[in-house]
A = this chain, B = another copy of it.
Amino acid sequence: MKPINVGLCGVGTVGGGTITVLKRNAIEITRRAGRPIVITMAANRDLIRARELCGDDITLTSDAMDVVNNPEIDIVVELIGGTTIAKDLVLAAIANGKHVVTANKKLIAEHGNEIFTRATEKGVMVSFEAAVAGGIPIIKALREGLTANKIEWVAGIINGTSNFILTEMRDKGLAFNDVLKEAQRLGYAEADPTFDIEGHDAAHKLTIMSAIAFGIPVQFDKAYLEGISKLAAIDIQYAQELGYRIKLLGMTRRREQGIELRVAPTLIPARRLIANVDGVMNAILVKGDAVGATMYYGPGAGAEPTASSVIADLVDITRLHTADPEQRVPHLAFQPSQIADLPILPIDEIETCYYLRINTEDKPGVLADITRLLADNDISVDAMLQRPIAGEARADIIIITHLAVEKRVNTAIKGIEALPSITGAVVRLRLEHLNG
């Protein structure tokens, strides 16, 4: 059967992995897809580097638009990243009636609505499994595997760098900055790690999963982000004493009034399987009303794991592009006409459990004042721990709350911070029980 001709835009780490795996497993992939899938053209700014990775069989160009405008190309793979050139070329590929595969989470999370609208108009497929959680087929699971369910929430450890740092902080009792340096030395963190440690990367992925889970547009601008750079080692230790682990968790939950969408360091019970996902690994826990909780675990980054998802999308398109476009798997899991206008809730309105650490003088009446302020704001206490601070007449009081509304927790915290025996800011972290 006639091969599927693929044009590759961007020959970097993932592009190189895609070339390698497509070649190494060509027989296996053709046995599955029914047709050979062959990269015939590639674009890269650095042509010398590209030639090393592409070998002699692939036509090279330094202009990605050459790929997009090549009438022989059936599918364009966008691995350039960013939202400028990448967006232009994806839209141009669609306009030319080509199917698109991309690993670009930022592009999909920020411009997915526009891209999918154009793709639907032209009847082409835009696939992006590699944009979320690297090699884990989580997009497929959410979009196709769990279609029977009303999804209640999706919780994910979806940034390997942050998870590596948190794992090391816990295992070795080290401070954030020391572990960050180690992660940079090992190549698990970039020289400028902001994008990973402040939650941007995770929020891009979570935004995409939220849209697919609930049938809403992608709305990255409404996601709430809180990173791990201010997390203190002592809170990881107290959490552990109380039976919890702290993870940078992406959490999106359906509530009656709208959708919660946030990335933040979060306590989760240590006995949950997902709490034991350590190092650079990723995992996503999905709660559906029919199936209950299912979890998907694997490598969230890396050349070949990401290539695994890129190629799965190529095989998918090869298998399914002949299906009626009106019926075929919709880009965001729900038919375009059925995307709902549910609002993303402001962070003030979310409802979850909280961990509070309060540094106080160790004297009578303080606890009564604190618990009174909590009660006044409808916050009830689930667990409490008091720890003296060595050599001082002070103590840390740690409180785990039941479900509470965030703005009330903030009000209570303001009240607590104004108490005369309290020093400094109250540490507030969110806590998710993730009950199956």
Contact = CB atoms under 8 A, between A and B. Distances in A.
Contacts of A273: 273, 276-277, 297
Interface stretch (A73-81, A302-310, A420-428): A302-310
Given A137-B145, A148-B315, A315-B148, A25 B322 contact: no
A149 interface: yes
Contact of A215 (B31, B136, B291, B328): B31
Nearest to A139: B145
A366 interface: no
A288 interface: yes
Given A34-B326, A319-B329, A28 B311 contact: no
Interface string A241-263: 00000000000000000000000
A311 B298 CA distance: 26
Nearest to A335: B34
A162 interface: no
A307 to B, nearest CB: 6
B294 A148 contact: no
Given A31-B334, A137-B144, A150 B308 contact: no
A360 interface: no
A196 to B, nearest CB: 20
Nearest to A21: B290
Interface in A260-306: 273, 276-277, 288-299, 302, 304-305
A338 interface: yes
A137 B148 contact: no
Most buried by B among A129, A150, A310: A150
A32 B339 CA distance: 9
A298 B295 contact: yes
Q: Ordered nearest first, which 4 A-B pairs have the shortest CB separation? A: A137-B145, A148-B311, A294-B298, A323-B323
A146 interface: yes
Contact of A327 (B24, B305, B307, B322): B322
Interface of A: 17, 21-22, 24-25, 28-35, 129, 135-137, 140-141, 144-150, 215, 273, 276-277, 288-299, 302, 304-305, 307-312, 315-316, 318-324, 326-330, 333-335, 338, 340
A312 B137 contact: no
A201 to B, nearest CB: 19
Given A141-B140, A292-B135, A147 B33 contact: yes
Contact of A291 (B289, B298, B322): B298
Contacts of A309: 148, 291
Contact of A323 (B30, B129, B319, B338): B319
B140 A311 contact: no
Given A32-B335, A319-B329, A335-B31, A291 B297 contact: no
A320 B328 contact: yes
Given A140-B144, A145-B312, A316-B144, A291 B335 contact: no
Contacts of A288: 308
A295 B297 CA distance: 5
B29 A147 contact: yes
Given A273-B277, A290-B308, A318-B327, 20 more contacts: A22-B148, A24-B150, A25-B290, A32-B330, A32-B335, A34-B335, A135-B290, A140-B145, A144-B316, A147-B311, A148-B315, A289-B304, A294-B299, A295-B298, A296-B297, A297-B297, A319-B323, A322-B322, A322-B324, A323-B323
A217 to B, nearest CB: 14
A149 B394 CA distance: 58
26 contacts: A22-B148, A24-B150, A25-B150, A25-B290, A29-B148, A32-B335, A35-B327, A129-B145, A135-B290, A137-B140, A137-B144, A141-B145, A144-B315, A147-B315, A148-B307, A273-B277, A288-B308, A290-B305, A291-B304, A292-B299, A295-B297, A295-B298, A320-B323, A322-B322, A322-B323, A322-B328
